[in-house]
Amino acid sequence: MSSYLVTGAAGFIGSHLCAELQEQGARVRGIDAFTDYYARNLKEENLACARDGGQLEFVEDDLASADLDSVLDGVDGVFHLAAQPGVRASWGREFEIYLRDNLLVTQRIFQACASRGIRVVYASSSSIYGDAETYPTTEDVVPRPISPYGITKLGCEHLARSFGRAAGVDAVGLRYFTVFGPRQRPDMAFTRLARAAVLGETFSLLGDGRQSRDFTFVMDAVSATIGAMRHGRAGVNYNVGGGAETSLREVIELLEDLSGHQITIRWQERVAGDVFRTASDTTAIRRDVGWTPTTSIRAGLAAQLHWIEATSRRDGDDVAVSGATPVHQR
Ligand SMILES: NC(=O)c1ccc[n+]([C@@H]2O[C@H](COP(=O)([O-])OP(=O)(O)OC[C@H]3O[C@@H](n4cnc5c(N)ncnc54)[C@H](O)[C@@H]3O)[C@@H](O)[C@H]2O)c1
């Protein structure tokens, strides 16, 4: 039985990964600092779901200062997902947090894994491409991030290469393309849209809605991540994308159709750092890891909508009545 450390275990993707690893029979230690990027109670709920898989050993600690000797004791491999996420918040003074939680923490993880000879699969991002030169984008396109967040993620990839050359670290990078599904972070568009559909909240749309993303269902991202630990090639960065590029307007139509309610939109200016389009070429991970995404955007959105409905009911929100207009009454 393998033993893994998952960093960012109380986060969106990390909590799903912990549950799936346990489901597959692995021993899992999770670590998370409950940073304040979003509410602690949501992360505690994520963690409760991560614990569903069996007997998660959980450590609450900050990876920028934690004693990594004890955190890594008995571990065969590390899934490093902890980070300060989000493109828009990475401008200005907040950048200090990105430097610390993304670059400094990743440097510590690589150093510690190199000296122990254990593999680390770490979360990079499609944000490293910026507005890419070509679509669908292959991994060899020159990365030109347009946000401070993307720059820190690209910095992690450079750290991996340097530690690979200097210290032999066995690191595999995963460039996740917009991950969605139940427990998606509250700042992300699908969660805000699903809340708008279910609870009648107004959705602030930044831009004209024609911007598109290659959306990836969270369990597909998780299977790519576990596959990369087993079969990924050391030193390689892989695109992880769901494969169906979809515009925000199309997502809104889908959600209105699935929920039966019209979404109220407040149109706003596009903001700095947001790319117009992402589309992944996933030939490399399909070839090396044997990974294929299996969940359509419609099926994944339905699962996310269901989750929002269930958690809103439990939290006592007024589900599907407060201001949302049923589509058939339009
Ligand atoms: N969600 C996406 O669409 C997406 C896309 C591309 C890349 N990624 C990357 O995937 C990873 C997971 O993203 P997510 O959406 O699940 O984010 P998330 O914020 O839900 O999870 C990250 C977790 O890391 C923890 N963390 C941050 N700094 C820490 C520190 N110093 N010590 C210990 N724990 C710390 C946070 O408390 C949080 O629970 C991140 O690295 C993110 O940059 C996510």
Averaged in consecutive runs of 10 residues, what is the pLDDT profile of the chain (330 residues)?
A: 96 98 96 98 97 89 98 98 96 96 98 97 98 97 97 98 97 98 97 95 94 98 98 98 96 97 94 93 98 98 96 72 39
Identify the three-state secondary structure at position 140: coil
Residue with tokens 């149109």: 267
Which residue pairs, CB below 8 angstroms and at least 24 apart, start in 221-225?
221/13, 221/16, 221/174, 221/176, 221/179, 222/13, 222/16, 222/17, 222/20, 223/20, 223/291, 224/174, 224/285, 224/289, 224/291, 224/293, 225/13, 225/17, 225/79, 225/121, 225/174
Residue 149 among the catalytic residues:
yes
Residues 230, 231, 237, 240, Cα dihedral to 10°: -80
Kindly report the CATH number that applies to the domain delimited by 3-179+218-241+279-294: 3.40.50.720
Residue with tokens 């799936």: 20
48: Cβ–Cβ under 8 A, 6 or more apart, which residues? none
Which atom of ligand 1 lies at the shortest distance from residue 13's CA? 16
Which atom of ligand 1 lies at the shortest distance from residue 63's CA? 32
Candidate from 15, 67, 179 with most ligand 1 atoms within 8 A of CB, to mutate: 179
DSSP state of 272: T
**Burial (0-12, 13-18, 19+ Cβ within 10 Å), 1:** exposed
| Ligand 1 near 63 CB (within 6 A) | yes
Candidate from 7, 17, 35, 45 with most ligand 1 atoms within 8 A of CB, to mutate: 35
Residue-level pLDDT at 327: 41
Predicted model pTM: 0.96
| Cis peptide preceding 136, ω within 30 of 0 | yes
Domain limits of the chain? 3-179+218-241+279-294
What's the 7 CA to ligand 1 centre distance in angstroms?
8
What's the 9 CA to ligand 1 centre distance in angstroms?
9
Distance CA 137, CA 140 (A): 8
